[in-house]
Each structure stands twice: as structure tokens, then as C-alpha cells.
Amino acid sequence: MKKKIIFYLGIIIMLGACYPQGPEYYEDLDLVYTNYDDQYDFMSKGTYAIPDNIVKVTGDLAEGEDPEFVKEPFNTQMLQKMESNMTALGWTKTDDPANADLVLFPAVWTNTTVYYWYDYWCWYYPYYCGWGWGYPSVSSYTTGTLVMTLVADGDDYVEPTRTWTAAANGLLSGAYNASRVTKAIDQAFEQSPYLDIK
């Protein structure tokens, strides 16, 4: 009898998969993605323009309304980091986007995911399903994304064309600290050696 119990217990334990350890710090979930147009000749270009503010994409902008912008000091911190990286790669900033070879458009958005469960014990006994027993548990998390796009325009193009895109994504920690974002901006340029025109 004992052997049978041990045997079936062993089977039950073994049928489940095991995931030993997960992330411990917010930084462990930070991701930086980049992609570029390999047909675009970056080496023949040299100037770029960048807005003074980073827009916050909220999805509910009405026509004629001004968008929201990232608050200071984070706005300046992030823009300065982008500009210093572009300068280090040999690019020259111009004030007029009409005269620049490329325009760097930064934007941010946040996304909140809410999840809940209440059918956790249905497998055990259907009576205990649903709202009749056990409380529903609700939790949420918010992620932030910074997107930087280098856009080419002018006589050579029918419409503005994306030549490089970078996206940095991570969980929002609630701490007012731009270091994770500025680190992600550095990483985006570091993994884009084709932007080096020196």
C-alpha cells in the first residue's frame, strides 16, 4: 500500500514541470529591441533633428488637441542621452527638421495589465468554482515602453520612411529614477553599429 502511495505521488509530482527561479529585480525584465533598413545608406548622411519634448502616446488624443509630454526632469535626461549617443556616432544635430537627413522621433507609452482568478479550485470539486467560495484575487502590473525612430524624408521618398527603430520595454517600479531608461537608450545605440558614420 505504501509503495503504491509513493508511486502515485511521484507520478503526480513528476507530471508537473518545474521552473526553478525567476527574476528578482525590475532590471532583469528590461528589454531593448532594434531593427533597421539594411538598404538605407547611413554612411552618406550626417545630420539629424530631434524634438524638444517626448510625446506620451495615450491612444485617446482628440483632433486638434495637444499631446501629453514626458515631465521634467526625465524629458531632458532622456533627450540628452539620445543626443550624446548620436553625437558619439558622428551625427550633427540641426534645429530645422526640414534640412536634416533624418529626424529622431521619441515616444513613450504605458500599458497596465489587470488579471484576476477565481476558478482556481474547480479541478478539485466543481462546487467550489466561481464566486460562491474563495475570494477572487486581483493583481496588476504596468509596463513602460520608449520607442525611438529615425525617419528619412525628402525628395527621394514618397512618404516618410523608417530607417531605424528602437524599443525599450520594462516594468514600472514606481521609483522616480531615469537610470534604467538612460541605460536602455545607451544599449539601443550600442547594438546599432551601422549608425556609426565616423
Partner 1 sequence: MKKLIAIAVFTLVVFTQSAYSQQSGYWSFQYAMGFGTGDLGAYVSAPSFRGGLIEYRKAIKDNLLVGVDFGWNVFYEKKDSDTYTSGTEALSGVQYRTQNALPMLVSAEYFLSTDNALKPYVGLGIGTMYLERSTDMGQWRLEENPWSFAVKPELGLLYEMSFSTSFKLAAKYYNGFKTGQLENQGYFSISAGFTFHL
Three-class SS of 108-165:
EEEEEEEEEECCCCCCCCHHHCHHHCCCCEEEEEEEEEEEEEEEECCCCCCCCEEEEE
Task: Please identify which residue in 47, 77, 149, 187 interacts with partner 1, judged by CB under 8 A.
Answer: 187
Rounded CA separation 98/64 (Å)? 23
Q: In this complex, which beta carbon is closest to partner 1, that of residue 5 or of residue 98?
A: 5
Among residue numbers 28 through 87, which ones bind partner 1 (CB under 8 A)? 28-38
Task: Please identify which residue in 21, 112, 139, 140 interacts with partner 1, judged by CB under 8 A.
Answer: 21
- DSSP element (H, E) containing 106: strand 102-117
**150 CB-side CA count, 13 A:** 27
- Quick check: bond before 126 cis, omega within 30? no
Q: In this complex, which beta carbon is closest to partner 1, that of residue 29 or of residue 122?
A: 29
Identity of residue 147? V
Q: Does 149 help bind partner 1 (rule: CB under 8 A)?
A: no
Q: Does 135 help bind partner 1 (rule: CB under 8 A)?
A: no
Q: Name the one range near partner 1 by CB under 8 A: 60-68, 118-126, 127-135, 169-177.
A: 169-177
Q: Name the one range near partner 1 by CB under 8 A: 52-60, 119-127, 147-155, 185-193.
A: 185-193
DSSP H helices in the chain? 2-15, 74-88, 179-190
Q: Does 170 help bind partner 1 (rule: CB under 8 A)?
A: yes
Q: Which residues bind partner 1 (CB under 8 A)?
A: 3, 6-7, 10-11, 14-15, 17-23, 27-38, 143, 169-171, 187, 191-192
